[in-house]
Amino acid sequence: MIGVLIVLKIFSIGVLRILDEVNIFETPRKIGFRQFKLNTLLQYIYIAIYAPIVEELAFRVGLRVSKRNLILMIFALSLIISRGFLNIEWLISISISLLLSIVLFLSFKMGRTFDLINNFHVKNRGLVFYILLLSFGFMHLIGYEITLELLLFSPIVVFSHITAGFMFSYVRLKLGVVFSMILHCLNNSLPFVLMYFIR
């Protein structure tokens, strides 16, 4: 499975390079990506450990519905939105995420919120799966300068992320979220391992 993931990532990167070389599409460059101002060890911790765990909680844990899973999902999604999209400071982002999680917890205690969500999920498993999958893929456009050209070619830009997300989702459903986190961490570690051996 990891081999397929690596081949598809290399393929999508190759397609982007070819489009760049023949001047059809200029491969976008990341702008203002905060964590790359960190030293290599902190970059590794952020990219290969922190990001996969938060992303798995946000986009995969909710594939199996339980009150705990939904609370973890809301916490992680709100953290991604507040940090990644809105660029809110860490402490405030964590506070917002905790507050939303507590509100969801209380709504589960006081009403039929969980039953409504669970019924929707049971009737729309495929829809939920693909919404989370595509959200995961397109979330990786965070940090790029959004242009019309990027939006037009965004399916190619995020193809490797969507493919990886599909694999992570499959592993999550078959083996559990811990295994999808491990696979995601290994996937994100690959560039650091390659850089170490290339030096």
Give the pLDDT score at 33. Answer: 46
| pLDDT single digits (tens) 29-75 | 664 444 455 677 888 899 999 999 999 999 999 999 999 999 999 99
DSSP symbol at 89: -
- Domain boundaries defined on the chain: 2-198
Cβ atoms of 157 and 150 closer than 8 Å: yes
Would you tell me how many other CB atoms lie within 10 Å of the CB of residue 68? 10
Residues 154, 126: Cα–Cα separation, whole Å = 23
Residue type at position 1: M
List residues bridging with 144 in a β-sheet. Answer: 30
